[in-house]
Structure 1
């Protein structure tokens, strides 16, 4: 029976180290465990959710992380996102209960089409970057669903567009609720396969 070696222990009061320490046996670097790869994948998913990685970068790095064999293989994949993510959290400061509730409401408002998150975004004043990021992401996702629905109706005589639209609508039933729950926990959410015509202030200023 295979025994999986645990990842590197976290520092006191900190998270698990996304890049395992170099474990050496007999002068050679020891190979990664499944737990090490899972920790690296979680770090990449957090970076993707916060907008540090685009779709192509995320997919490429995740594939390389899941197939990595040694800690040195993970370092170039995680060095920039792990540091930048901690810096962004420090700049934004703690996320209040009100911010988390408002951000979650933005995703749930998407069940009333894109007008829900759009109305919240237009009527909000002096909101935190965390809330604005969630409202913008919810709006972009609902715009994507609306545009895809119009295209599917126009191509209703074809089977494939209807199948794709059916899968998208299935995701529409669950994804906003998952995003709202993520926001309530203080996390970030990035919908997959989403057109993002609306950019938030922090993204346009960077």
Structure 2
């Protein structure tokens, strides 16, 4: 009669389930296929690192693309390995009103200046440019919002020139009308997010102006 030996539990290097990630939180086993929830968690961590000033625009976009295309856990590790540990008390979701951890406490003046950076875009890109220059010695929170508003207004101005020049093709004219509708609403929405102390990134935006 055959005798079956009990299955030997996997060693630490092959343990089933989650293994400690670079920030001290659980991350997927490097050998297992990822789920949508795994990718979303890493994407959220990358956005938090961007809000805290650990990543610039290009790094965030590159890492988000890699995270969303990852198949197994080992592909996610390099995306987080050089980031500072996540703070115990989580700060700053997109609109929850909390300040990014790297900015420290936000004053009412900081939030108001960040709001003004977005709202001044209704007077062309010159408004956000002035706010960016004025906030050079101010908080990183104000500078980030002013820079994002400036990049959005530059994108809108350049796209308007190009699309109106191609208006005879009809489709560019329709696209410009949609952009105009977005321009009417998005700066004020971004300003309200800034008043709450959150971060904001305009969609479909060219970012020629970058932080240090």
Q: TM-score range by the shorter chain?
A: 0.5 to 0.7
In structure 2, the partner of 1:109 is 120
Kindly tell me: are residues 18 and 179 of structure 1, through their superposed partners in 2, closer, same or farther at Cα, counting changes over 3 Å?
Answer: farther
Instruction: State the distance in 2 between where 1:151 and 1:166 align.
Output: 13
Asked if 1:44 is matched to 2:46, the reply is yes
> How do 1:1-150 and structure 2 match up within 5 A?
20-21=26-27, 32-48=34-50, 50=53, 52-55=55-58, 57-80=59-82, 82-83=83-84, 92-123=103-134, 126-150=137-161
Instruction: State the distance in 1 between where 2:69 and 2:181 align.
Output: 31
Deviates more, 1:156-165 or 1:101-110: 156-165
State the aligned residue count: 182
1:67 CA drift (Å): 4.6
Contact 1:104 / 1:180 at 8 angstroms: preserved in 2?
yes
Question: Which protein has the larger Cα radius of gyration, Structure 1 or Structure 2?
Answer: 2
TM-score, L = length of structure 1: 0.66
In structure 1, the partner of 2:182 is 171
Unpaired stretches in structure 2, ≥5 consecutive residues: 1-17, 88-99
Unpaired stretches in structure 1, ≥5 consecutive residues: 1-6, 10-16
Contact 1:104 / 1:183 at 8 angstroms: preserved in 2?
yes
Any idea what the Cα deviations from partners look like across 1:60-96, whole Å, max 9, x if unmatched?
533442354543332112222x32887xx66643332
- Secondary structure of 1:166's counterpart equals helix
Contact 1:19 / 1:75 at 8 angstroms: preserved in 2?
no
Superposition RMSD in Å: 3.7
In structure 2, the partner of 1:194 is 205
Instruction: State the distance in 1 between where 2:152 and 2:161 align.
Output: 15
Deviates more, 1:131-140 or 1:183-192: 183-192
Instruction: State the distance in 1 between where 2:192 and 2:60 align.
Output: 22
Question: Whose helix proportion is higher, 1 or 2?
Answer: 1
